[in-house]
């Protein structure tokens, strides 16, 4: 397939303007696939190869201080290629997802099934053999389609069969050799352990340690900021709850920090404090927050906020969090690479002793919010259901090729008095 796109620029009178524009195409992992300068108004195209990574790609254009981006989706392609040479059958993954499943290999009138697990761009090889070294018709299939590979003279073996050349063990000799090595290593380990246990410890406690033990133990208390305690991975938790759980409508914000590991390694950097400041806004709005790897998930439910509808509360909170993160990025070189998604759906809630709360996602409510955040590039995206529920209350722009909407600042109308 081919993707065609045309960058367009407008002047202040909203007329088309000719200019050179910087265009970048990003892969789903945010790495740059293509970067070049193009002319506005001219159509460009890229060929979508079978090996292109599945997921949301983005096209970003920049002219002076203005920029714009659009998303397009590359679907999963499960495809393999077969080749036969000198009795060696090669199966190569030429799709864009891992290929895992059974393959039928037919030698003459004998069929044998092999389970394969082939990563992107990788291949597996099989040696085909026959008892008489004769010529046989070779076919392969994936359960739905058979492919004719023609006739081939096979190496001599005990029976018509297949040897997997990608395995760790190749032949019975190698198997027994590895078994022998493992047994020897186990015997050596056992002997060393027995010798260590038989040794007696003779000695005296160093004077420094004696002095320490003679002193009265003084308990030490470690304190941490209230927000960090709130963001402990154990409070609240997402896990299975009993049938007594309460089902409620939830408004969810998912904040994804893509470069979290890098930020943690920066000494003297206050980027993590900025992230906590953004999350403190949600905490003050009576949201529950939990950590899931590089995600920070914010949940508003009526049981906690005492408000029946929390959708606008979540949207406004996301706006404030966005402002904090953008303000930080505008004046610091070590920027926070983030995405934010907002969704509305159902969750199950169960309250336990000491105020511990457990959430369970219903209809993939939390997963959808995370998926939206993954597609976001430093902006707030909202889901289609939330967009329908907030019509007329917010200003949004549809992202082409997706079901997501980008939150835009509200435009204030200025009315001038009529001249008399």
69's tokens: 């981006």
Architecture of the domain made up of 80-168:
Sandwich (2.60)
Please state whether beta strands 55-63 and 20-26 pair in parallel, antiparallel, or not at all (unpaired). Answer: antiparallel
Mean pLDDT of 112-134: 82
Q: Please state, in angstroms and rounded to a whole number, the distance separating the CA atoms of residues 106 and 136.
A: 10
Contact in structure between 279 and 321 (CB atoms under 8 Å): yes
Find the helix or strand (DSSP H, E) in which 176 lies. helix 172-198
* Block residue for tokens 């030490």: 220
Residue ranges, comma separated, of all CATH 2.60.40.1930 domains in the chain are 2-74
Q: Please state, in angstroms and rounded to a whole number, the distance separating the CA atoms of residues 185 and 187.
A: 5
pLDDT for residue 412:
52
pLDDT digits (tens, 9 = 90+) for 179-190: 889 999 999 988
pLDDT digits (tens, 9 = 90+) for 213-241: 443 333 333 333 444 444 444 434 444 54
CATH (one of 1.10.3210.10, 3.30.70.1230, 3.40.50.2300, 3.40.50.920) for 226-408: 3.30.70.1230
pLDDT digits (tens, 9 = 90+) for 39-81: 888 888 888 888 888 888 899 998 888 888 888 888 888 888 8
Residues 6+ apart with CB under 8 A from 310: 249, 250, 251, 300, 301, 302
For the chain, what is the largest distance between any 2 Cα atoms, rounded to a whole number of angstroms?
Answer: 108
Query: How many residues does the structure list for the chain?
Result: 420
410's tokens: 């509200």
> What does DSSP assign to residue 120?
T
Residue ranges, comma separated, of all CATH 3.30.70.1230 domains in the chain are 226-408
Question: In terms of Cα–Cα distance, which of 265, 266, 296 is closest to 281?
Answer: 296
Q: What residues pair up with 90 in beta bridges, in sequence order? A: 83, 125
> What does DSSP assign to residue 308?
S
| Predicted structure pTM score | 0.43
The top-level CATH class assigned to 2-74 is mainly beta
């Amino acid at each position: 397939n081919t993707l065609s796109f045309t960058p367009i620029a407008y002047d202040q009178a909203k007329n088309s303007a000719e200019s050179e524009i910087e265009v970048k195409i990003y892969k789903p992992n945010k790495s740059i696939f293509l970067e070049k300068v193009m002319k506005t108004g001219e159509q460009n195209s890229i060929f979508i190869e079978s090996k292109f990574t599945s997921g949301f790609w983005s096209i970003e254009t920049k002219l002076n201080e203005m920029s714009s981006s659009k998303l397009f989706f590359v679907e999963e392609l499960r495809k393999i290629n077969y080749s036969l040479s000198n009795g060696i059958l090669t199966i190569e993954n030429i799709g864009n997802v891992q290929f895992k499943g059974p393959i039928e290999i037919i030698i003459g009138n004998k069929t044998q099934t092999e389970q394969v697990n082939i990563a992107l761009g990788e291949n597996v090889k099989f040696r085909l053999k026959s008892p008489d070294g004769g010529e046989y018709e070779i076919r392969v299939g994936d359960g739905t389609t058979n492919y004719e590979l023609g006739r081939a003279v096979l190496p001599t073996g005990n029976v018509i069969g297949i040897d997997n050349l990608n395995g760790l063990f190749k032949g019975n000799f190698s198997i027994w050799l590895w078994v022998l090595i493992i047994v020897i290593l186990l015997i050596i380990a056992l002997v060393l352990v027995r010798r260590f246990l038989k040794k007696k410890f003779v000695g005296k406690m160093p004077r420094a340690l004696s002095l320490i033990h003679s002193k009265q133990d003084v308990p030490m208390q470690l304190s941490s900021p209230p927000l960090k305690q709130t963001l402990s991975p154990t409070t609240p938790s997402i896990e299975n709850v009993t049938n007594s759980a309460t089902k409620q409508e939830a408004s969810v914000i998912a904040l994804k920090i893509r470069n979290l590991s890098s930020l943690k390694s920066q000494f003297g950097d206050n980027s993590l404090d900025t992230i906590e400041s953004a999350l403190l806004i949600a905490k003050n709005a009576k949201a529950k927050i939990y950590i899931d790897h590089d995600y920070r998930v914010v949940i508003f439910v009526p049981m906690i906020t005492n408000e029946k509808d929390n959708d606008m509360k979540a949207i406004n909170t996301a706006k404030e969090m966005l402002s904090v993160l953008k303000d930080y990025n505008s004046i610091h070189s070590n920027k926070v690479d983030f995405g934010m998604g907002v969704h509305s759906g159902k969750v199950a809630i169960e309250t336990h002793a000491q105020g511990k709360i457990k959430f369970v996602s219903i209809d993939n409510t939390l997963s959808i919010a995370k998926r939206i955040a993954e597609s976001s590039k430093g902006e707030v995206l909202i889901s289609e259901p939330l967009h329908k529920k907030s019509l007329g209350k917010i200003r949004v722009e549809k992202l082409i090729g997706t079901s997501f909407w980008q939150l835009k600042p509200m435009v204030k109308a200025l009315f001038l008095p009529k001249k008399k």
